[in-house]
Every structure is written in C-alpha cells, then in structure tokens.
Amino acid sequence: MKKRRFFHLAWVVGVFSVFAFIPVVYAISDAFKQNIYKVGTLKPVDSVLKVKVGDRAPDFTLPSISEEKVSLSQHRGKKNVVLSFVPAAWTPVCSDQWPGYNIVKDIFDENNAILLGITVDNIPTLYAWTNQMGKLWFPVLSDFWPHGAVAKKYGVLRSNGVSERALFVIDKKGVLRYIDVHDINKRPALEDLVGVLEKLKK
Amino acid sequence: MKRKLMPFALVAVFFLTVSSFIHAADKPPQKGESLPVINLLIPKSPAEKSYLGLSGGGSFKIPQIKAKAVIIEIFSMYCPYCQKDAPGINELYHLIENDPDLKNKVKLIGIGAGNTPFEVGVFKKTYAVPFPLFPDQDFTIHKACGEVRTPYFIVVKINEDGSHLIVHSQLGEYPGAKPFLELVLKSSGLK
C-alpha cells in the first residue's frame, strides 16, 4: 500500500515538474521587430565562478564595435568599472538590458564609473544588434576569439559557449567589489547596481 | 480505478488554478473588448491623484479614472522605442492639458512592463514624464495583456455608468502627438 502511494506521489510530482518550465515572459521592445530569437527558459546558472569579491579583477584586452581595443587596466586609478556580460545578441532579455543602461549615463558619471558591455558574439553581429538600441554611450566588447576567453577567465562561460548574465563591479584599485551572476532568464534590477556604485563612492 | 485517476484530477485542478492565477492572455487586448483585470496602486503624489480623480489609498482599476477616455501606454525603461517616443507622448499630454475642453475628458497613464518602481522613476526623471507611470515589476499586467511588445497603446472609452470598452489598440508606430490625439478623439467618440 505504501509502495503504491509512493508511485502515485512520484507520478504527480513528475507531471507537476513539467509546469516548472512554463515559459518566462519578456517585455520585448518593438525596436527589435520580429528579430529576437526565442530561447525559452534556460538553466539559471551554468558555470562556476573563478573570481570572488576582494580579488584583483583579471585584466583583459578586447576589441570593441568602435574598432578600438579596450583594456580593463586602462581604467585603473581613474574609474570604477562595471562589466556587464550578457549571454548573446538577438535574445530576449539581453536585448532589453543595455538600452536601460543607455539612459542612466548620469548615474554612472555621478559615481565615477564606466560601463563595459561584453558578449561572446563577433563584432559584425554586435554592431547590427546594438544599432537597434540607438547610440550607446559605453563600449561594447567582443569576447568572440579565442572564444569566450574573458568569460572563461571570470568563470561565467556556460557549457554551450555563451556567457552568463553577470555584473562585476571593479573599484579604481582594480579590486572586485560586487559580483552578480544573475538568473540568465531575468534582468537584474537597476537599483541593485546603483546601490553598489553609490556605496563605492563613499 | 478511481485512485488511479486521482493524480490526473490533481494535475487538472493544479493546472486550472495556476492558469487562472497567471491569466496569461494569448493575444493583446483588442478593440471592442473589455480590459483585462488590472489593479494599480493609487499614486501617493496629490497632483497625480487629482489628475486621475482618485482619492484615498490602496488600489484602483483603470475604469475608475475620472475621464471619458484613458490612453494607456505599456512601456519599458529598457525599450529603445519607448525612449525615443517619450518626448512625443509628453507632447500629447500637454496638448490635452492645454485644451480646456479636453483637459478633464482624456487622461494618460503608462505601465512599465517588468520595471521596478526605481526603474519607472528613472524613466520618469530622464524624460520628465508629466503623467502617472506605474510599475509592473513581475509582469502581471504584461501577461494579462498578451505579452505585447513595447510600446503598446490602448485607448479605453469610459461610459457614464462606469462600464468601459477598448476602442483602439496598437503596437508601436506612434504617429506623433497631433495625429494620435485625433485618433483617440475619433475612436472614443469625443469628436
């Protein structure tokens, strides 16, 4: 009898688990028209961090869509740096993350911070995609080749080759002060990042 | 036999409960329909409260707004087109407010799909939005409105008896303040 109940329970749980995959909704901007590829709901995090708060942030140099190469170390002693890794161009949540940062340059300025946007896409893809966002005030960097090398260095490269949706805040000394490897399916709330930048200013 | 059917019954009940709770509409609100149930918090600002003709605290539904027509913009702080259209929508507000005949008849609100109150505040401040904006942090309203892309415009006509009807809805393609006001007035029978 007990065994039977167990099987019933297992069956119910099994069927219920299907509903755990009810698709997550996104508010996609009409700016991207029908060009956003629906990825469905993904495993929230699929990598293991290789850095922690208090560590010196690993340096890197990457090409940007404006053709200049950008190094993390060039900002040392001058600016706090926010690294915004997003998984991929032309995907739902990512397409509606940077355009938000694009209207808060004043908040970054007030807190003596700059933003570096990074994905593992190549430059032409990033160029076409970010063109839909209007003119971005921050550099967009391509971690395409060697594929995802910077994402890998920080421990945010997922098993399928895209990066996590992750925010790293690095102070002027080059030390990591905040890490948010966010659920890839959701957009981090802006106030959390702003709170960190304001604390750094103090 | 009955026992074997129990799991199915449980699953059915669970699914019905969840689906009615989420109420994810499969299409955007259409002309000729009623609005889905949308609960908004009564603004704290006395100016916004008076603009909407509301009093007290707690929540309200859009047809309770004291007006003959309400324009709803579903937007997002993160949406480039919403950012681009913001000055033009502000102009629409001013066109209405500067016309003594329309001032108390047509009202404008924005709902920030997936935006936190802070994010809605950033949008309001960046574009000096003069009309009330409401956050929809967990996408509840966005889901009830068929997960529309943004910006999405809905015009609702409110009748004397408190009943209401959607008289126009459109995705993006904001034509500018004057043509849009014309469209609002025609579709809601105010002209």
A-chain residues within 8 Å CB-CB of B113? 27
Contact A27 B126 (CB under 8 A): no
pLDDT above 60 (res A18): no
Torsion, Cα of B28, A130, A103, A52 (10° steps): 110
pLDDT above 80 (res A2): no
Q: How far is CA B62 from CA A61, A76, A128, B36, B188, in A?
A: 52, 51, 39, 10, 15
- The more confident residue out of A78 and A32 is A78
Return d(Cα B56, Cα A190) in angstroms, integer: 30
Predicted pLDDT at B191: 85
Predicted pLDDT at B11: 56
Mean pLDDT of A152-170: 97
DSSP state of A59: P
| pLDDT tens readout for residues A123-134 | 999 999 999 998
Mean pLDDT of B20-47: 82
Lowest mean pLDDT among A43-47, A119-123, B30-34: B30-34
Mean pLDDT of A128-145: 94
A-chain residues within 8 Å CB-CB of B149? 27-30
Predicted pLDDT at B20: 43
CB atoms within 10 A of CB B93: 18
Predicted pLDDT at A22: 41
For chain A, domains (ranges, CATH) are 2-201 (3.40.30.10)
Distance from CA of A13 to the nearest CA of B (A): 9
Distance from CA of B116 to the nearest CA of A (A): 7
Give yes or no for a contact between A32 and B27, defined as CB atoms under 8 angstroms apart: no
- The more confident residue out of A109 and B3 is A109
Q: Which of A158, A159, A198 is nearest to A177 (CA)?
A: A198
Mean pLDDT of A177-198: 96
Q: How many helices (H) and strands (E) does chain B have?
A: 6, 7
> What CATH fold (topology level) applies to the domain B2-187?
Glutaredoxin (3.40.30)
Return d(Cα B32, Cα B187) in angstroms, integer: 11
Q: Work out whether strand A176-182 and strand A113-119 pair parallel, antiparallel, or are unpaired.
A: unpaired
Give yes or no for a contact between A168 and A178, defined as CB atoms under 8 angstroms apart: yes
pLDDT above 90 (res B72): yes
Contact B7 A15 (CB under 8 A): yes
pLDDT range class, residue A110, cuts 50, 70, 90: very high
pLDDT range class, residue A23, cuts 50, 70, 90: very low
pLDDT above 90 (res B132): yes
Residues in A whose CB is inside 8 Å of some CB of B read 8, 11-12, 15-16, 19, 22, 25-31, 96-97, 99-100, 102-104, 107, 132-134, 187, 189-191, 194
> Which class for B150: exposed (0-12), middle (13-18), buried (19 or more C-beta within 10 A)?
buried
pLDDT range class, residue B144, cuts 50, 70, 90: confident
Report the residue from A12, A30, A104 with minimal CB separation from B172. Answer: A30
Lowest mean pLDDT among A62-71, B6-15, B161-170: B6-15
Predicted pLDDT at A20: 44
Here the contacts of A69-72 (C-beta below 8 Å, separation 24 or greater) are A70/A116, A70/A139, A70/A141, A72/A116, A72/A170, A72/A174
Mutation choice for A interface testing from B73, B75, B78 by most A CBs within 10 A = B78
Give the three-class secondary structure for B177.
helix
Mean pLDDT of A65-92: 94
Mean pLDDT of B145-165: 92
Predicted pLDDT at A19: 45
Lowest mean pLDDT among A112-116, B6-10, B141-145: B6-10
pLDDT above 50 (res B189): yes
**Lateral strand order in the sheet of B164-171:** B133-136, B106-113, B69-75, B152-158, B164-171
Report the residue from B6, B76, B147 with minimal CB separation from A96. Answer: B76
Distance of CA A149 to the CA centre of its chain: 15
pTM value is: 0.84
Contact A27 B151 (CB under 8 A): no
Mean pLDDT of B139-165: 91
Give yes or no for a contact between A82 and A179, defined as CB atoms under 8 angstroms apart: no
Lowest mean pLDDT among A37-46, A101-110, A136-145: A37-46
Strands (E), B30-180: 39-41, 59-61, 69-75, 106-113, 133-136, 152-158, 164-171
- The more confident residue out of B37 and A8 is B37
Percent of chain A with pLDDT over 70: 87
Which one-letter amino acid corresponds to residue A91?
Answer: T
Q: Mean pLDDT over all residues of chain A? A: 89
Distance from CA of B175 to the nearest CA of A (A): 15
Contact A190 B123 (CB under 8 A): no
Predicted pLDDT at A9: 64
Return d(Cα A118, Cα B76) in angstroms, integer: 22
Give yes or no for a contact between A26 and A165, defined as CB atoms under 8 angstroms apart: no
Predicted pLDDT at B6: 65
B-chain residues within 8 Å CB-CB of A96? 76, 78-79, 114
Contact B119 A11 (CB under 8 A): no
| pLDDT tens readout for residues A188-199 | 999 999 999 999
User: So which residues of A are the catalytic ones?
Assistant: 94
Predicted pLDDT at A3: 63
